[in-house]
Amino acid sequence: MAQTSDILVIGGGIAGLSAAAALSAQARVTVLEAEEQIGFHSSGRSATMVHYALGDRLVRALTQASRPFFEAPPEGFSTVPLGHRMPVLVHAREEEREALDALDAEISQFAQLERLDARGVHELCPLLRDDAIHGIADRNGIRLDPHGLLQGNLRLLRNNAGELHAGAKVTAVEQGGGTWKVQTEAGDSYSTPILINAAGAWADVVAQLAGVRPIGLAPRRRTIITFDAPPGTDLADLPFAKTVGDELYFAPESGRLFASPMDEVPSEPTDAQPDEYEVALAAHRMEERTIVKVERIHSRWAGLRSFTPDHHPAAGFAPDAEGFFWLAGQGGFGLQTSPIMARIAASLITGSAWPIDNVSEAELSPGRFVGQAA
């Protein structure tokens, strides 16, 4: 006998869980996650920042609309703070000044920035080399607790009688008579009128299983390493420091430092593993831009950031399959935009008020990639 729900979500990452939690007050929601653990893939491998130094206007607008949730989550959502303040510093060499000016103008529409000279840059981040002489600082960056965020959404879902089925990899999806029938590898069956595809890097794979046209999702691998800071470094005051170009970011991490060479290596949807080249590149760029000597790499990991063709997320019903809802393409901003993306999904599915003024339904519609129904 198939288990029935009003809404079935494929994917127990931040996208699937936050949408499920947002919908669970009004509907019976079940989440199917292939892995035994929630957030095992991208959502558990990120740099966990909320900042404006990535993406474009739309991504910044989604980030801005999500911030109030992190600062004041709903009553009972989380037993721990969802994050803590961490300043964000974007630094530049003389020849990168124009790029910094352009970024300053863009971010200033969303956040209050301080313009820093060489002295200000080094006061905020003493680890940078002397050639970092220009900077912009956002003192209100947030470093998230991703487990608090994932668990909070799961708690909300369960409090509303929603369910998570872990170790439930979806292997077959078919539609008939207004109902989606879903089968897992373990042989369990589910049926639902509304199927949310929040399968992260696998979202196109899931669409193909369901006979729905894919949106052209491109997963890209990104690598992070951790290592010791120089003795005597005051880690508590360090910012999340990023080059103005996409070369390097680093920040304090559990008594050490982490760094990423901001790699974007095309990948199949898979359990991403760090490659020696990007690991070495992270250490090399860290030594090139800072006074830190990366003597020993303590840990390393990689995860996938999955992009649609225009690098904006896709949220909306598929134009070619009734009841099939896309929630994919969260790129490198899926945690920091998850609260508003969940509300957008809930609005499109339940007909509740559209929750964000400066982003339109059309900008997020999956129809922009797959065209209208034939």
Ligand X SMILES: Cc1cc2nc3c(=O)[nH]c(=O)nc-3n(C[C@H](O)[C@H](O)[C@H](O)COP(=O)(O)OP(=O)(O)OC[C@H]3O[C@@H](n4cnc5c(N)ncnc54)[C@H](O)[C@@H]3O)c2cc1C
- Which of 148/334 has CB closer to ligand X? 334
**What number of CA atoms fall less than 13 Å from residue 79's CA on the CB side?**
3
Residue 189 CB, nearest approach to ligand X (Å) = 14
Taking the complex as a whole, the smallest distance from the CB of residue 117 to ligand X amounts, in Å, to 27
Instruction: Please check whether residue 191 is in contact with residue 181, taking contact to mean a CB–CB distance below 8 angstroms.
Output: yes
- Which H, E and C letters describe the chain, residue by residue? CCEECCEEEECCCHHHHHHHHHHCCCCCEEEEECCCCCCCCHHHCCCCEECCCCCCHHHHHHHHHHHHHHHCCCCCCCCCCCEEECCEEEEECHHHHHHHHHHHHHHCCCCCCEEECHHHHHHHCCCECCCCCEEEEECCCEEECHHHHHHHHHHHHHHCCCEEEECCCEEEEEEECCEEEEEECCCCEEEECEEEECCHHHHHHHHHHCCCCCCCCEEEEEEEEEECCCCCCCHHHCCEEEECCCCCEEEEECCEEEEECCCCEECCCCCCCCCHHHHHHHHHHHHHHECCCCCCEEEEEEEEEEECCCCCCEEEECCCCCCEEEEECCCCCCCCCHHHHHHHHHHHHHCCCCCCCCCCHHHHCCHHHHCCCC
Least distance between ligand X and beta carbon 302 (Å): 7
Q: Taking the complex as a whole, how short is the minimal distance between the CB of residue 260 and ligand X, in angstroms?
A: 6
Smaller CB separation from ligand X, 200 or 319: 200
Q: How far is the CB of 33 from ligand X (least distance, A)?
A: 5
Residue among 133 and 281 whose Cβ is closer to ligand X = 281
* Two tokens, residue 49: 């920042």
Rounded-to-integer distance, Cα 96 and Cα 132, Å: 10
User: Cβ closer to ligand X: 93 or 165?
Assistant: 165
Least distance (Å) between residue 231 CB and ligand X: 27
Min dist CB 118 to ligand X, Å, is 27
Residue 10 or 125: which CB sits closer to ligand X? 10
CA distance 309 to 62: 18
| Minimum CB distance to ligand X smaller for 34 or for 292 | 34
Nearest approach, Cβ of residue 332 and ligand X (Å) = 5
Beta strands 189-192 and 163-166 are: unpaired
Of 124 and 195, which has the nearer Cβ to ligand X? 195
- Distance between CA atoms of 314 and 331, rounded to whole angstroms? 11
Which one, 32 or 279, has the nearer CB to ligand X? 32
Which residue's CB is nearer to ligand X, number 34 or number 121? 34
Q: Which residue lies nearer to ligand X by CB, 24 or 46?
A: 46
Per-residue burial over 277-290, b if 16 or more Cβ lie within 10 Å, else e, is ebbebbbebbeebb
Residues that bind ligand X (CB under 6 A): 10-16, 32-35, 39-43, 45-49, 169-170, 198-202, 206, 222, 224, 260, 303-305, 330-336
Supply the minimum distance, in Å, between the C-beta of residue 119 and ligand X: 28
Shortest distance, CB of residue 195 to ligand X, whole angstroms?
11
